[in-house]
Structure 1
Amino acid sequence: MTTALVTGANRGIGAEIARQLEARGIKVWRGSRKSGQNEIQLDVSDQGSVDKAAQTIKQLDILINNAGVNFRPEQGPSGESVDDMRATFEINFLGPVRVTQAFLPLLRHSEAPRIVMMSSGLGSLTETVDLRSENWNVGHAGYCASKTALNMFTVKLAKELLNDGFKVNAADPGLTATELSGNVGRPVEEAAAIAVELATLGPYGPTAGFFQDGLTPHHW
């Protein structure tokens, strides 16, 4: 049976990704900082927690790095809290790096290993420097920068694993009605769809891409 791990799967987009994968007959480990029913304890900012989860799971084909935070700063970049930025990078960027490195040995045993990074269009430098883009007027420097860093890691990892059968891509769920966005945006069912599509790519699917709706590439 195909097996997946989704971090931050206790609510929001992560929970919906897990639900959609299970509807396809995939066994899903739902990672959560506080484990509950059908969940495995997994705090992406804690190496010990990540290592323990990696020892618990015996088979893995799909890894979806979904866990993330946004402290929604009151001030612009010149006044944004450095401590908040550091905490954001710890979870949004270093968290996926930490989890991916810990689970790569398991994924290498899969016949069709897939890694999906839940990124954001707000991490796109191309969109952000375009005065016509919605990104131009968005603050949240720490959050946006953490997703830009995640995008770079995605491409570097995809290149490294290209000849090993891996598909490594970034997904942009768009503005989605979850606690992270203040419940503003589109339904989680729509937002989760691209992650599920990337997680279940066939052998001729793309790698090192950034996608939102369908497999037309986004601007990095």
Structure 2
Amino acid sequence: MKSALITGANKGIGFEVAKILAQKGFFVYLGSRNLANGQAAVEKLKAQGLTNITALQLDVTSQSSVDAARKAISSLDVLVNNAGIAGGFEQSALTSTADQYQQVYDTNVFGVVRVTQAFIDLLKNAPEPRIVNVSTAMASLSAAADIFNDNYPKRYVVYQSSKSALNMYTVNLAYELRDTAFKVNAVCPGYTQTDFTGHQGTSTPEEAGQRIAKYVLVGQNGPTGQYFSEEYFPAPANCPW
């Protein structure tokens, strides 16, 4: 049985990804900063008949927590770096402080680095390892570059820049693993109705979860080192993956 670790999975998009992968036959490690919340999420899934899942205490901002989680797992095929924070709104390039950047980057960038590096040895032992980093269309530099387009958000500089950094990390990680069986991609789940957005948005958590899971399940002919935002930039209908 293949196994998957999903960070920040006790609710929202991460919870849906956990459910989808458990339904697909993966053994799922449901990562949660608060173990009680993670265990409650697991009980919800078990009530739906999904027993191939367990909660794992995992605070991506704590190296000791990451190290303890690594010791609890002996094999891994898939890593979904889903945990993320917004850092409050609105944010300003002129007034948001370095401490605000530090807090958001600690989860959205440094947390991904901590977890990926901690589990990379296990993933390298998997026949078809997959890493999916959850990003956002709001991180697009080309879209943001039209500074006079008020329809594109530019009031969330701390969050947006953290996800732009995540995208660059994803590309470099895929490059370093290019001669292996790894597929490493960044995926925007869409504007999703979760606690993160105040339950506003154009996508349901279920739809967002499917977008993430799609890139977990790509075959060896699938993409790597790419960024996908299907709600805003739909893939061609004849995509081979």
Q: Under a length normalisation based on structure 2, what TM-score does the superposition of the two structures give?
A: 0.86
Q: Unpaired runs of 5+ in structure 1?
A: none
Report the equivalent of 1:21. 21
Asked if 1:164 corresponds to 2:180, the answer is yes
Answering whether residue 139 of structure 2 is matched by residue 114 of structure 1, we say no
Q: In 1, distance between residues paired with 2:157 and 2:28? A: 33
Aligned counterpart for 1:192 among listed residues 209, 230, 234: 209
Number of aligned positions between the proteins: 215
Contact conserved, 1:194 with 1:211, CA < 8 A, in 2?
A: no
- State the shift of 1:134 in Å: 3.5
SS of aligned partner of 1:99: helix
Q: What CA distance in whole angstroms lies between the structure 2 residues aligned with 1:115 and 1:11?
A: 20
- Runs of 4+ displaced beyond 4 Å: none
- Percent identity over the alignment is 42
- Deviations 1:25-83 (Å, cap 9, x if unpaired)? 11110001111323100000000100110110111000000000012234522111321
CA distance in 2, matches of 1:75, 1:21: 35
1:210 aligns with 2:206: no
- Deviation digits for residues 152-184 of structure 1, max 9, x if unmatched? 000000000011110000010111111111111
* CA distance in structure 2 between the partners assigned to 1:200 and 1:46 by the alignment: 29
Are 2:91 and 2:158, in contact at CA under 8 Å, matched by a contact in 1?
A: no
Tell me the SS of whatever aligns to 1:63.
Answer: strand
Identify the residue that residue 51 of structure 2 maps to in structure 1.
none
Find the structure with the greater CA-based Rg: 2
Greater mean alpha carbon deviation, residues 160-169 or residues 122-131: 122-131
C-alpha distance in structure 1 between counterparts of 2:156 and 2:209, whole Å = 23
Q: Tell me which residue corresponds to 1:181.
A: 197
Gap regions ≥5 residues in structure 2 = 40-53, 237-241
Amino acid at match of 2:11: R
- The answer to whether the 8 A contact 1:12-1:188 is kept is yes
Selected match of 2:76 from 24, 45, 60: 60
Question: 1:78–1:161: structure 2 CA closer, same or farther, 3 Å change rule?
Answer: same
Pick closer, same or farther for the CA change 1:67–1:206 going to 2, 3 Å. same
Aligned to 2:33: 33
Distance apart, 1:129 and its partner CA: 0.8
Query: Residue 90 of structure 2 contacts residue 155 of structure 2 at CA under 8 Å; is this kept in 1?
Result: no
Instruction: Give the superposition deviation at 1:215.
Output: 4.5
Q: CA RMSD in A?
A: 1.4
Amino acid at match of 2:129: P
